Structure 1
């Protein structure tokens, strides 16, 4: 008898606690949406996952800051083809992203052809 009452109290208590947690979560989401924090956080996560720094791009392609755009393209072609034949798609995409990153930088400096 006592175990049945304890079991009922546990079930009822967990139900109440579950509803309270859910209600608090919904309220937190509403507050985040009202202040724009949720939208800003999502944008920051997207930006951070796509962003590649110039330093990382140069490391991937194995070039320095003094490297000309033509040399970067040669290095890109070599690495891209090597990974296309017997490498991985992940490495191939990293090489491509590195070239895109450096291309933007060289365009800003008017050193890369259009």
Structure 2
């Protein structure tokens, strides 16, 4: 009998705590929307995942703003192959991302990778 009573208390207590947690979460969302905190979090996530800047891409490839697309591709090919041979996947991916970034600047998204 005591075990059954204890089990009922635990279930009821768990239900009450669960409902309270859901209500608190809903209220936190409402408060965040009112203060703009929710939008700041979303903007922070977007900023954190943003692609590299044109300036950073040019620095990685070692080119100037006056460089032609052909010079960029030549520099990319050279650096990509060097990093492929030396086994630096990180640098190789940075070089690739720099080329992708500059493709959008030079408006050549249909260029083969």
TM-score tier after normalising by the smaller chain length: 0.5 to 0.7
Provide Cα deviations, 1:24-57, integer angstroms capped at 9, x if missing partner.
x844445225666435523532343332111100
Structure 2: runs of 5 or more not aligned: 1-20
Separation of aligned partners in 2, 1:113 and 1:51: 15
Provide Cα deviations, 1:36-84, integer angstroms capped at 9, x if missing partner.
6435523532343332111100000000000000110011111111111
Give the count of matched residue pairs. Answer: 88
1:94 to 2:89 alignment: no
TM-score relative to the length of structure 1: 0.61
Q: Which runs of 4+ in 1 moved over 3 A?
A: 25-30, 33-37
CA contact (8 A) 2:103 2:109 kept: no
The aligned counterpart of 2:50 is 50
* CA-based RMSD: 2.9
